[in-house]
Amino acid sequence: MLFLVVFATLLISTYGQPIDTVAVNQDTLGNYNLQFNVPGISRIEHRDVFGNVNGAFSYIDPYGIVRQTQFTSGAHGVHAVGTDIPVPVPDTPEVAQAKAEHLAILHAAYLTAPPSPRFFHF
């Protein structure tokens, strides 16, 4: 994947503007390579025979800022990395303590609860 990102960056920086390109290569095993470049938008993607997809895309927003995202997808799920993807706000100490107390109460209630009846158990 790093090669794809470096290649896209070099392509854009070399020519100033992306070249209008659409290229797709695929085989009968499920592998494919996709490259898409038009002014302001770029995408590179690769899929292997196991269904794992790696790629990156970028675009220029209305303010002229280049937005870039890299992603992977496969059996492990979808993971995207980019500066524009929001991240969760970390818990404050008070919230962390409240969560811990709540989980402790739930766990204690679970341990003291009578077992549920098992209907139709043979």
Instruction: Give the sign of the dihedral formed by CA 110, CA 113, CA 114, CA 119.
Output: negative
Predicted TM-score (pTM) above 0.75: no
Average pLDDT over residues 35-51: 93
CA 54 to chain centre: 10
Query: Which is more confidently placed, 70 or 12?
Result: 70
Residues 36 and 12: their CA atoms lie apart, in Å, by 12
Dump the DSSP string for 75-117. TTEEEEEETTS--PPPPPHHHHHHHHHHHHHHHHHHHHSPPPP
- Band of residue 16 on the pLDDT scale cut at 50, 70, 90: low
Q: Domain ranges in the chain?
A: 2-82
